[in-house]
């Protein structure tokens, strides 16, 4: 098994981050497929936002995830993608754990995410990690896509 390392994203990673997203195999109807590197730069480097990439032993980016604050208590996880050839090796789980750790460190009480109606196969993955569905709206939903499944996990010391 190839060793993996997670590190914060830099602007130099934007093309690789985008490549991983595009290789993730999202349904062609998803707004995800229309994301550009300029969109990523605006999203990942806005105030309080960021991301992580996972690199293999050869230094190649094989996974990515973004995050952004959504109010004082919530950190929103987004853009989780893993290259198909390394799925099942813990890359996605490791990236989610990084975002959760950062949320806890920054004093957020919970991590929220949205699963596209075109990617419902991801719901069991998040449920296995402790995320539960909620009826609250997703502030960052694309107006041109069906409403996503919103999931949340409490991570803060004073959560609940």
pLDDT value of position 159: 45
* Residues of the chain below pLDDT 50: 159-160
pLDDT value of position 157: 60
**Average pLDDT, whole number, for the chain?**
90
The SS3 assignment for 156 reads coil
d(CA 94, CA 107): 20
Which residues, in sequence order, are bridge partners of residue 112? 76, 152
pLDDT value of position 154: 96
Pairing state of beta strands 61-69 and 5-8? Answer: unpaired
Per-position DSSP letters for 107-139, written without gaps between them: T-SEEEEEE-GGGGGGHHHHHHTT-EEE-S--T
d(CA 21, CA 14): 11
Burial class (CB in 10 A: 0-12, 13-18, 19+), 62: buried
The SS3 assignment for 2 reads coil
pLDDT value of position 58: 92
d(CA 160, CA 155): 9
pLDDT value of position 160: 46
Superfamily classification of domain 5-154: Gcn5-related N-acetyltransferase (GNAT) (3.40.630.30)
């Amino acid at each position: 098994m190839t060793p993996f390392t997670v590190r914060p994203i830099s602007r130099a990673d934007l093309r690789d981050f985008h490549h991983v997203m595009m290789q993730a195999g999202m349904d062609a109807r998803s707004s995800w497929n229309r994301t550009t590197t300029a969109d990523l730069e605006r999203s990942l480097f806005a105030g309080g936002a960021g991301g992580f990439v996972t690199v293999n032993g050869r230094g190649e980016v094989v996974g990515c995830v973004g995050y952004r604050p959504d109010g004082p208590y919530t950190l929103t996880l987004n853009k989780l993608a893993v290259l198909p050839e390394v799925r099942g090796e813990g890359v996605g789980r490791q990236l989610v754990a990084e975002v959760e750790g950062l949320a806890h460190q920054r004093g957020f009480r919970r991590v929220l995410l949205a699963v596209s109606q075109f990617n419902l196969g991801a719901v069991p993955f998040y449920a296995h990690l402790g995320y539960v569905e909620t009826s609250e709206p997703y502030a960052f939903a694309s107006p041109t896509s069906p409403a996503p499944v919103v999931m949340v996990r409490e991570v803060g010391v004073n959560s609940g």
